[in-house]
A and B are shown apart, each in its own frame.
Chain A
Amino acid sequence: MAADTVRGARKAGRYTLLVVLAFIVVFPIYAVVMQAFKTGPGSLDHPRSLLPVDLTLSTVKAAWTQGNLGRLLLNSMFVSLMVTVGVVITSLLAAYAFAFLQFPFKGPMFIAFLATMLVPAEVTVVINERTADSLGWINSFQGLIVPSLASTFGVFLVRQVFLQLPGELREAAALDGVGHLRFLWEVAAPLSRPTLGALGLFTFLGTWNAYLWPSQVIRGDRAHETIQIGLEHLKNNDISKINLVTGGLVVAALPIFIMLVLFQRQLVRGLTAGAVKG
């Protein structure tokens, strides 16, 4: 009896704690979403602004037109898709070479390749901006896309999966006269689909969310801006229009939220691949 009460009290305590913490974590998102669906004074009348009343789409609509959000979303979508496809392809090819082919200096080359993971973008952007400039890629999609087309992490991840495929599979295929590209396409890639999915998801999210490089390579050309750097234009000197930002935030975050709900498993797999395997 007593033990049951203690257990019950403990459970209730745990729930209370969870609810409070969940409220704190989710509050910023909730507040912004609520404000985004209010208009004018309603969005500034705190704390009434937090209640789900007086809801309207007009702020989101205004943000959409004034921020040119449709264009920004399309740009981000295009850039992220291109980078994702590119990274999956370059990673597959390089990982195949490192996993299945014999060539001199393979080991040292792989180590050297991996070592470049240690170089953060914050170091290279200084010079990459110059390179992009000399190629005429400032304010262009090439500038946004091409430098991100190779992923050392991707190569590492895919190679890891390839190495786990039984070697006899490649040998059996070789006896049948299956060439490298065909084996990659018909056997190795399909068998690595979960990992490729995680890699693709991560590349997409990373590109979609990137800030530093786009902010440097796109200099005020509104036609090529991604949503991440374009949102800033909604910050207005007119402080009363601050809720335009909230409208923009909802539009910018929604696609990612939807993606994450759809691909939750791949996300966790990808996140933990780095942490658990190392």
Chain B
Amino acid sequence: MILLGPSGCGKSTLLRTVAGLEDPTAGDVFIGDRRVNDVQPKERDIAMVFQSYALYPHKTVAANIEFPLKVRGVGKSQRAEEARNAAALLGLEPQLKRKPGQLSGGQRQRVALARAIVRKPSVFLMDEPLSNLDAKLRGDTRAELVDLHRRIDSTFIYVTHDQVEAMTMGTRVAVLNFGKLQQVGTPQDVYDRPATAFVAQFIGTPPMNLLPAGMLGSDSVQVGIRPEHLKLAPGGELHAVVRQVEHLGHEVLLTADANGTRLVSRLEPSAFIPEVGDPVAFDADPGRRHHFDATTGERVP
């Protein structure tokens, strides 16, 4: 499960509420069938990976991984054994004797993960665990996490503001905005049938074109069209002037201005590409149009 939303939307707070670091002001928190509102964090059968990893800087990697077990009173040899297993799972054995300060960002991230794994929780909570890594490492780690999820078969709740992470890693995605749940569904579902105008614009790069009410169709409905569905059509309903042409190699992004509304269209490089300043007309297959209520932003079927 991925919690996705812009910063400040409440996704971290939600995660922390599940962890028991914050109390809900109203409502119940269930883990499995168990209501955990009054359960101490340590008894919730969860483990959390923090954005900053929260490793103990003065302890070695091995001691860091063992620490949750030590607190639980697990015997020394068993502790070491399990820590070694968790480290092995993540390829951390060579670093066991080092301290966090001597590790790279990616290694630290894996230590934090290992420290969560040794507890064998039924739920893993992750708060933007990849945001402190550089772009390339983030890509690799993303794949590793997906693989890990498959192997250890527990629930992951994963907070991110990065839609790519959400789309590639999520079994299900929950999109939040301003503390409100916007939509829950599979990534494809959320992409194909966004439940609100916010979700429509938040997911997808470049974002969906959202036309002001009345520009296409009824006065009470906003029409949304993804850039790849906005086609150049000489007889099209939407008239605009080309403002920008970006050649990205595998595609061309065309930005145009239709009476003050910015339209972005994604074209094949082999297609006919107009030039900046050219008047153009767009159209979109009615089946590819999304309709949202102009006041509530909710999807109209």
Contact = CB atoms under 8 A, between A and B. Distances in A.
Do A and B come into direct contact in the complex, CB within 8 Å? yes
Interface of A: 166, 168-169, 171-172, 174-178, 182, 186-187, 190-191
B53 to A, nearest CB: 8
Interface stretch (B54-62, B156-164, B177-185): B54-62
Interface residues of B, number: 22
B interface majority secondary structure:
loop
A186 B64 CA distance: 11
B52 A175 contact: no
Nearest to B56: A187
Q: Which 4 A-B pairs have the closest CB atoms?
A: A177-B42, A172-B54, A168-B54, A176-B68
Contact of B42 (A168, A176, A187): A176
16 contacts: A166-B52, A168-B50, A168-B54, A169-B54, A171-B21, A171-B50, A174-B21, A174-B42, A175-B42, A175-B47, A175-B48, A176-B42, A176-B68, A177-B72, A187-B58, A191-B58
Contacts of B50: 168, 171-172
A190 B58 contact: yes
Most buried by A among B20, B51, B52, B54: B54
Contact of B71 (A169, A182, A190, A191): A182
B94 to A, nearest CB: 24
A174 B52 contact: no
A52 to B, nearest CB: 48
A177 B71 contact: yes
A175 B51 contact: no
B52 A168 contact: yes
B62 to A, nearest CB: 15
Contacts of B56: 169, 186-187, 191
A190 B119 CA distance: 24
A172 B48 contact: yes
B119 A176 contact: yes
Given A166-B52, A168-B51, A175 B58 contact: no
